[in-house]
Amino acid sequence: MPEAAVVTVNLAKHYKYLKAVDGISFEVEENEIFGFLGPNGAGKTTTIKCITTLTRPSSGKIEVFGANVVQNPDKVRQSIGYVPQSLSLVNDVSGYENLLFSAKLYGVQGSVRKERIERMLELLGMKDRANDVVRKYSGGMMRRLEIGTALVHQPRLLVLDEPTIGLDPQGRRVVWELLRRLVKEFGITVFLTTHDMSEADELCQRIAIINHGKIVAIGTPAELKHGVGGDIVVLETKQNPETAAKILEKEQGIQISTVGENSLSVIVESAERYVPAIIGSLSSNRIQVEAIFAQKPTLDDVFLKYAGSRMEAEEVGGDWRQIKQVRRAFRKMG
């Protein structure tokens, strides 16, 4: 059994009346890529802040490689590299200087600093651009450099908060490749957050889905999709899909998944077996089906099953940060 990189037991973080993280328990195994998937406001960053010792949990326990975040924060910090949600680079100096700054900050000894940074630049594929100022880098290069700055002290655990947000598909792939290499070649453990289902699906060995501060499902992407329990059948109809849904929900073995403007999707144990019954039942109620197709469940369906809705952000009115931003903007307007 590999050692657990992170053990979290009943972790909660409350802000006044808001339960940002509401009693979650999970383990990140050493040398895996573990994904924390959830919509805006789900509690992902708050969980990360607790793990990285940036904020104190209201209750519960977290250990990072056996060290408790509250009792032994220095030890925890030494073993973690952290890439925050918003860019953390110094823009008007070079990539090299950013790495050097980070190495000094993390207390990397002077005698090994230069060599460490050279190796990092090689790993990041940025040797030829090392002396350019960061503001001239592409978004993808900035993200890679940021990951580099979190690695100069050779942590065992790399924690990244939405590492690919704002990147194009090519930029995302480059970051994924880098993370995979870190795990495979350097034995690092990766904990990342994302609200991108396909990213979680492709990159992570295991995923926890978080919504409103609670973990609603946890497992490998395959296990989670299997847990949806069958196939998804999507029907297109020009008539009202709500009516079609009402008819189908009375049938045994058919579970309504989503109802759209011109379409409807249902979950059945086996598409092959249920499609004739679906068409039969609708046509006997004079509902014409324009198209029908079956697909295997995606993580989106997993989220829908366990969280009870599609993955959507919390309401704007409930987010204190947005309220603050709006207030600030008003004040500036005088």
Ligand X SMILES: Nc1ncnc2c1ncn2[C@@H]1O[C@H](COP(=O)(O)OP(=O)(O)OP(=O)(O)O)[C@@H](O)[C@H]1O
The residues that touch Mg ion, with contacts defined as CB under 5 A, are 44-45, 85
DSSP 8-class letter at 133: B
The yes or no reply on residue 320 touching ligand X (CB under 6 A) is yes
Of positions 22, 34, 45, 257, contacts ligand X by CB under 6 A: 45
Hey, how many other C-beta atoms are within 10 angstroms of the C-beta on 83? Answer: 21
Supply the DSSP string of 219-248, one letter for each residue. E-HHHHHHHT-SEEEEEE-SS-HHHHHHHH
Q: How far is the CB of 213 from ligand X (least distance, A)?
A: 7
Q: Which is nearer to Mg ion, 85 or 240 (CB)?
A: 85
Which secondary-structure segment (H or E) carries 20? strand 18-29
Distance linking the first and last C-alpha atoms of the chain: 61
Q: Which is nearer to Mg ion, 291 or 323 (CB)?
A: 323
Tokens of 246: 């009402």
Q: How far is the CB of 195 from ligand X (least distance, A)?
A: 6
Q: How far is the CB of 36 from ligand X (least distance, A)?
A: 8
Q: How far is the CB of 24 from ligand X (least distance, A)?
A: 12
Q: Which is nearer to ligand X, 12 or 278 (CB)?
A: 12
The yes or no reply on residue 46 touching ligand X (CB under 6 A) is yes
CB 278 within 8 A of CB 235: yes
Q: Which is nearer to ligand X, 50 or 103 (CB)?
A: 50
Tokens of 109: 């000894």
| Long-range contact pairs involving 244-251 (C-beta distance under 8 Å, separation at least 24) | 244/282, 244/287, 247/281, 247/282, 247/285, 247/287, 248/278, 248/281, 248/282, 251/277, 251/278, 251/281
Binding marks (x or -) toward ligand X, 182..211, rule CB under 6 A?
-------------x----------------
Q: How far is the CB of 44 from Mg ion (least distance, A)?
A: 5
Q: Which is nearer to Mg ion, 13 or 44 (CB)?
A: 44
Q: In the block, which residue shows the tokens 């050779």?
A: 154
Q: Which residues bind ligand X (CB under 6 A)?
A: 15, 18, 20, 38, 40-46, 85, 195, 314, 319-321
